Chain A
């Protein structure tokens, strides 16, 4: 955890994958500017490059992360809007200590539910949010909730199989 003692600086503090991070606001090269998106801060400041940016326009869902448990497009949120928020990225799924992965990630491996894999972290984060809210969705509910996630290789069918396999087991963990 980093903190700043100098109160003349405005700071923004958010929790990412369970760790608190404080950033100084400003235009300097190591500061967070008001125009920085959450996606930018996650990738460029915290090195969490599992969150992908494709359209940078809120259309493709590649940058999906969880904010307070809900799926959001991190390219549409400014970092300064995220004060006090709890963010979970693809790196935050599973258990970093034991190295175990989330059942949903395991299911994506078992169903080869990806091809190029660029959109996969965003799809997993969207599906994870759905399963958190609704542990046993129907296939149509999964389709509807992933409608904001672009996948150009057309791995959709395997993705649906992977999510449904977890859903049938009662959702998440």
Chain B
């Protein structure tokens, strides 16, 4: 393997000093002069028409500068397809926005909310995805009869994947040695729950120039998607460091549009920053996912047919659900080698807070429901799941329909060595005792093991552009709209540029995340930072280096390819002693600008396998996660601690722990989230960490000059189904209901009465 100066070495994050000294300015640490505070009046009812709304008293309160209702808010639309008004005459979930207030202080804003009088006409509400499909079910949107969202055929091009239908399922079932039918659901709608709540500051100058500062994973996309909707012709979108997102702060119109509407109405800048209760009860959660599936399988474990209804509960609106369904459908094919598919999603609206983009992006939700059904077949055939995944996971030369509906052929690597290394480190062979058999029993405590897999072909999704500017003082500045949301990617692209230009890391900078400065950037999503964003940055750095050496060549009177540069000096290859600084060739009065662009490439699937060992206390029903081993292959590690941090991230952010205790508890009598605070919403503490190890292989990919691909987004996704399998094996009872709280364990063991727990 090639030895690099920075790539693959641990280097401090460029933003580390600011983070550890508290100087990093997150969105709520910013104020702009003359700024007001926005507040949102939220619906107490899950489904209702607003009969009347009286804001007179609120408007009279000193310090209140604007009050907006559905009657006077601009008609800006959001959602896919456009179907959500910022404020509507109808509310569709408890927490839906009813009115907006801008006030001099937060306290005045909250007081004003209490003075708004609303009369509602309650409507019946529906929460269950199948009940919502019944003919007599309450209807959320006139334009979506049966509460069914239309398939979206434009999101990822004219053939956006919205189902997998290939081959002949009847033929496949006829060829099967046995047929498994089953239902499994992953509907505990966990919250990705970044510590920093969603927040934004919006400010208008005149009627068409809008500046938005926001905590967003993809701030540049606000300019692309929201500018026109808000009637702005000149929107400047400035991203702040993001205090956690895990996908959730990407399509962030839910806070950007209200703040912009208030700022316009008040004629002053407005900050809108969610409280934690709003964050937990009225911001986006994971998709609800339920699969009724039928699998044809041979005795050797080969899948001959897969037929399934995938019922996707998107809650009160679709933020980007069709996109998540597209990627989920693609990812199912990466995991299962099957010639005959009839996999049909239905995207359904219900009266609860909406589902949005979360790390795992459709695929995690799909796998958590699909893998437990598949494994019923493996149990019947007596097949080890590790062997099944090894045989089935996509390999070079295999094809799949990706999110754009096109057939792509894998040009990546075979992950068999990663699977084998992970299994060896975990001790899978010794611990695996067969289906529904514990690894060990110690009194009331029983241990079990399980494994899960996930991967996407999105590491090369979408467009990235970057510039690299060289200044004659021997520094490089990267122009990129890349937000820093915790992965360290802004530092990693500096390492790439420092490597190409052989500059000290402290002489490479990145511009602020500002759409008025930077070229087009989709953002760090879908594990695309390393390959897609990295490729654009690398191309820009190479372009800049070429221009530099052309200039320096005139000084040396040699061809540019005879030159090398290091630490801001150029020299003829082999003669570093006769080096001269860049300024001698560039002059003090010139800058060099290199341009880079990345075009989508869906041929390099990434991969993550997670092995888990759990211990179940059969007396109390408590499940402890004992050990986690992750296995992947990333081609080339860019920054070791950043990578291990991302892999350790498999636990929280609605990952592994969504199989154990994380859930948004929903009361279907009131339509309310019952745990919208961080005491009742359970999360893993420092005191309860499992043992964690990773096997990270580095088989070079045909990606960019460092042969690397990203994996960060997908690390939590194999976990929940692995835990479900481990617990089932530990107690000898097949479990199919996330999360595995003690009541469910004890019920499965026949130790408590079989009372129905109503909550979706």
Taking beta carbons and an 8 Å cutoff, which residues of A are in contact with B? Answer: 29, 43, 48-57, 59-60, 62, 89-91, 93-94, 101, 105-106, 108-112, 114-121, 124, 142-144, 146-160
Contacts and interface: CB of A to CB of B under 8 A. Distances in A.
A55 B276 contact: yes
A150 B195 contact: yes
Contact of A90 (B22, B639, B646): B22
B687 A143 contact: yes
Interface in B169-188: none
Contacts of B649: 115, 153-154
B241 A117 contact: yes
A144 B193 contact: no
Nearest to A94: B21
Interface residues of B, number: 58
B641 interface: yes
B17 interface: yes
Given A60-B678, A155-B645, A156-B689, A116 B244 contact: yes
Contacts of B644: 157-158
A54 B195 contact: yes
A52 B648 contact: no
B226 to A, nearest CB: 24
Listed residue (A53, A118, A159) with the most chain B CB atoms within 10 angstroms of its CB = A118
A124 B20 contact: yes
Contact of A147 (B196, B276, B642, B686): B686
B517 interface: no
Contact of A112 (B10, B21, B275, B276): B10
Contacts of B196: 52, 54, 116, 118
A143 B691 CA distance: 13
A108 B16 CA distance: 8
B650 interface: yes
Listed residue (B241, B487, B645) with the most chain A CB atoms within 10 angstroms of its CB = B645
Listed residue (B19, B195, B275, B650) with the most chain A CB atoms within 10 angstroms of its CB = B195
Contacts of A54: 195-197, 243, 276, 678
A157 B195 contact: no
B25 interface: yes
A156 B685 CA distance: 9
Contact of B486 (A115, A149, A157): A115
Given A54-B195, A115-B487, A120 B685 contact: no
Interface of B: 10, 12-13, 15-17, 19-26, 28-29, 104-105, 192-197, 241-246, 275-276, 484-488, 639, 641-642, 644-646, 648-653, 677-679, 683, 685-687, 689, 692
A56 B196 CA distance: 11
18 contacts: A50-B22, A50-B23, A51-B22, A52-B26, A56-B275, A57-B276, A112-B16, A112-B642, A117-B243, A118-B194, A120-B19, A121-B22, A143-B686, A150-B195, A150-B683, A151-B686, A154-B652, A158-B644
A115 B645 contact: yes
B15 A117 contact: yes
A110 B20 CA distance: 11
A106 B16 CA distance: 9
B692 A157 contact: yes
Q: Is the interface of A mostly helix, strand, loop or mixed?
A: loop
Contacts of B484: 116
B20 A114 contact: yes
B692 to A, nearest CB: 6
A50 B639 CA distance: 26
Contacts of B646: 115
Nearest to A49: B29
Listed residue (B19, B24, B487) with the most chain A CB atoms within 10 angstroms of its CB = B19
A112 B488 contact: yes
Given A54-B197, A57-B678, A49 B25 contact: yes
Contact of A50 (B21, B653, B692): B21
A149 B639 CA distance: 26
A60 B652 CA distance: 14
Contacts of A114: 13, 16, 19-20
B20 A116 contact: no
Contact of A146 (B13, B645, B677, B686): B686
Given A57-B276, A59-B679, A115-B488, A153 B645 contact: yes
A119 to B, nearest CB: 5
B249 to A, nearest CB: 11
Given A143-B686, A147-B685, A152-B244, A118 B195 contact: yes
Nearest to B244: A116
A62 to B, nearest CB: 6
Contacts of B679: 57, 59
Given A57-B679, A158-B641, A117 B24 contact: yes
B21 A105 contact: yes
Contacts of A117: 15, 19, 24, 241, 243, 486
A112 B23 CA distance: 17
Given A54-B195, A116-B194, A120-B19, 6 more contacts: A43-B29, A62-B195, A109-B16, A117-B24, A150-B683, A155-B645
A29 B105 contact: yes
Nearest to A159: B686
Please list the 3 inter-chain residue pairs (A to B) with the smallest Cβ-Cβ separation, ordered nearest first. A50-B22, A118-B243, A116-B486
A101 B486 contact: no
B28 A53 contact: yes
B195 A116 contact: yes
